[in-house]
Amino acid sequence: MAAGLAGTGRRTPTERSDLLLQDAPDDLFAAIMKKLPDRVEAVSKTVDALAAPLQSNCYRSPTELDILFPDRLEEKRRIARIALIATIIIIMVAGIAFSNQIGVPILNWIMDLIL
């Protein structure tokens, strides 16, 4: 099927001299299709479906995609800052809770404020 999609399936000169492929037919795709006559139609339909063009934006250059979909850099930075602040707060609360459990009395008042 890969050979059908690529439009290839022929032996290369290196493969012709290879011990394992020296007796193989030159057109490997056609030869396998002859051995599987009941699958020719299904394979052909699959090859046609997979070879069909994809969505039009798949074929655009990065510059064209930047024009179509402008980068929301400021929004991404804002979200990153919020995530960083949330992470720092979670680490601080976890540190305070842990230190309170092991008996660091100076942080008890912070836990009392939180809880």
Q: What is the pLDDT of residues 63-102, one digit of tens each?
A: 777 777 777 777 888 899 999 999 999 998 888 777 766 6
Tokens 């490997």: give the residue: 28
pTM to 2 decimal places: 0.34
Q: What is the pLDDT of residues 32-71, one digit of tens each?
A: 778 888 888 888 788 777 777 777 777 777 777 777 777 7
* Residue 7, phi-psi category: left (phi > 0), alpha (psi -120 to 50), beta (remainder): left
Phi, psi of 29 (to 5 degrees): -65, -45
C-alpha distances in angstroms, 87 versus 53, 72, 74, 113? 44, 23, 20, 20
Spatial separation of the C-alpha atoms in residues 44 and 21, rounded to whole Å:
25
Q: What is the DSSP letter of 105?
A: G
